[in-house]
């Protein structure tokens, strides 16, 4: 039994045979335009699906697929780009949340000036700092290392005690100066120069305030002057931090008052001016200002450099290396030394040229009984 399609094709073929020769093509086109063939099998397409990399967590969050999803309209190129960008942004947000959850906040060094502003954790001693760590030690076993010569130790302690009470508790001049005045000595590394070139610079900065010495080296046309300037800056910073020198003007409340009370017609002395210039204007430097008390050079090792000559010859040159050492002191020391120098000069002048009726001299012929 023929179906509808077969019967339509049969009538079409019979009609073509009954017509004349030139008309079959025209009739065939007319009949095919009215022919409708029903498809036996429907074609289906679905979008590409990718496996989840979250271990199945993302698939559980998605809604269940609908029955009409295979027949959904495919995404365009722009939509696919937007979807990829959305997935990348979600992944970045997830990584950021994971980093913020596991991130630990850093801290400052114990010696930092801003360490007190942050909350510090309680100190937990470990190792030898734990309480009772030395209770199990036997002092007898450590005597050989800590006190190998007990007799010499006792004699040295006795000598130090006698030295303290030798002058009835009065301090010597050297000890008193060491306790009341500050100084700092700084030695530089070896520069690639000779002592003949570095010695004039050492003599130039000796006796000048530290700021003026740095200024002189800044505008000097000598090559090694820049190395000396860097060393002076380092020595000044070390003296401020380690010895506490040059801090007299810091935080002074009367500094602005002195400037207001001074004569406005006179130019105030600059920080780099020498004390002699400031004394002329009646303004003395601060007792804690630093100056270069001494500066000397140190001979270093000789280097080796090739000196290529003609005819394939080569000599070995020995370039010298020299360092500089500076001794920084405060203006308090210079004022004391100046006063002592004036006192010695006055004593010398009065002792030689001025006659005294009863001179102050020691008794040389002292007896137990009177001689008259």
- Residue boundaries of the structural domains of the chain: 187-247+271-350
The whole-number average pLDDT for the span 333-350 is 89
Which pLDDT band holds residue 32 (cuts at 50, 70, 90)? low
Which pLDDT band holds residue 123 (cuts at 50, 70, 90)? confident
Angstrom distance (rounded) from CA 167 to CA 161: 12
Q: Could you tell me which residue, 35 or 156, shows the higher pLDDT?
A: 156
Residue 53 region by backbone torsions, left for phi larger than 0, else alpha for psi between -120 and 50, else beta: alpha
Which pLDDT band holds residue 60 (cuts at 50, 70, 90)? very low
pTM given for the model: 0.51
Give pLDDT tens digits for 86-115. Answer: 999 999 999 889 888 887 766 666 666 665
Angstrom distance (rounded) from CA 212 to CA 165: 44
The whole-number average pLDDT for the span 44-72 is 54
Q: 119 pLDDT exceeds 60?
A: no
Rg of the chain on CA atoms, in Å: 50
The domain at 187-247+271-350 falls in which architecture?
A: Alpha-Beta Complex (3.90)
What pLDDT was estimated at residue 307?
A: 97
Give, rounded to a whole angstrom, the gap between the first and last alpha carbons of the chain: 183
The whole-number average pLDDT for the span 324-343 is 94
Give the bridge partners for 329, in sequence order.
Answer: 183, 291
Q: 250 pLDDT exceeds 50?
A: yes
Q: Could you tell me which residue, 128 or 341, shows the higher pLDDT?
A: 341
Sheet containing strand 183-187, strands side by side: 183-187, 322-330, 290-299
Angstrom distance (rounded) from CA 28 to CA 14: 11
Alpha-carbon separation of residue 181 from 14, 30, 243, 336 (angstroms): 135, 125, 10, 10
The whole-number average pLDDT for the span 67-92 is 81
Whole-number average pLDDT of the chain: 79
CB 272 within 8 A of CB 212: yes
The whole-number average pLDDT for the span 262-266 is 52
What pLDDT was estimated at residue 350?
A: 76
Mean pLDDT check: name the lowest of 108-112, 126-130, 221-225, 228-232: 108-112
């Amino acid at each position: 039994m023929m179906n509808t399609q077969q019967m339509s094709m049969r009538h079409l073929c019979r009609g073509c045979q009954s017509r004349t020769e030139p008309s079959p093509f025209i009739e065939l086109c007319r009949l095919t335009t009215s022919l409708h063939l029903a498809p036996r099998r429907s074609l289906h397409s679905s979008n590409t699906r990718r496996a989840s990399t979250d271990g199945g967590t993302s698939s559980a969050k998605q809604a269940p697929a609908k029955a009409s999803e295979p027949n959904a309209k495919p995404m365009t190129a722009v939509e696919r780009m937007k979807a990829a960008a959305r997935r990348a942004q979600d992944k970045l947000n997830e990584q950021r949340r994971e980093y913020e959850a596991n991130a630990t906040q850093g801290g400052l060094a114990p010696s930092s000036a801003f360490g007190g502003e942050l909350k510090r954790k309680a100190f937990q001693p470990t190792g030898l700092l734990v309480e009772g760590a030395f209770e199990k030690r036997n002092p007898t076993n450590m005597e050989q290392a800590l006190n190998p010569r007990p007799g010499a130790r006792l004699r040295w302690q006795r000598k130090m005690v006698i030295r303290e009470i030798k002058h009835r508790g009065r301090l010597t001049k050297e000890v008193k100066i060491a306790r009341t005045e500050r100084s700092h000595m700084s030695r530089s590394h070896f520069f690639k120069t000779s002592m003949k070139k570095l010695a004039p610079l050492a003599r130039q900065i000796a006796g000048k305030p530290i700021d003026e010495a740095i200024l002189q080296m800044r505008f000097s046309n000598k090559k090694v002057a820049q190395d000396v300037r860097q060393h002076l800056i380092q020595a000044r910073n070390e003296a401020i931090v380690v010895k506490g020198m040059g801090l007299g003007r810091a935080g002074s409340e009367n500094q602005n008052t002195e400037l207001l009370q001074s004569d406005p017609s006179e130019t105030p002395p600059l920080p780099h001016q020498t004390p002699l210039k400031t004394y002329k204007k009646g303004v003395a430097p601060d007792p804690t200002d630093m100056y270069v008390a001494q500066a000397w050079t140190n001979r270093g090792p000789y280097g080796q450099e090739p000196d290529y000559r003609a005819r394939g010859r080569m000599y070995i040159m020995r370039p010298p290396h020299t360092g500089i050492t500076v001794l920084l002191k405060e203006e308090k020391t210079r004022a004391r030394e100046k006063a002592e120098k004036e006192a010695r000069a006055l004593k010398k002048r009065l002792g030689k040229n001025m006659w005294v009726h009863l001179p102050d001299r020691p008794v040389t012929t002292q007896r137990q009984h009177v001689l008259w």
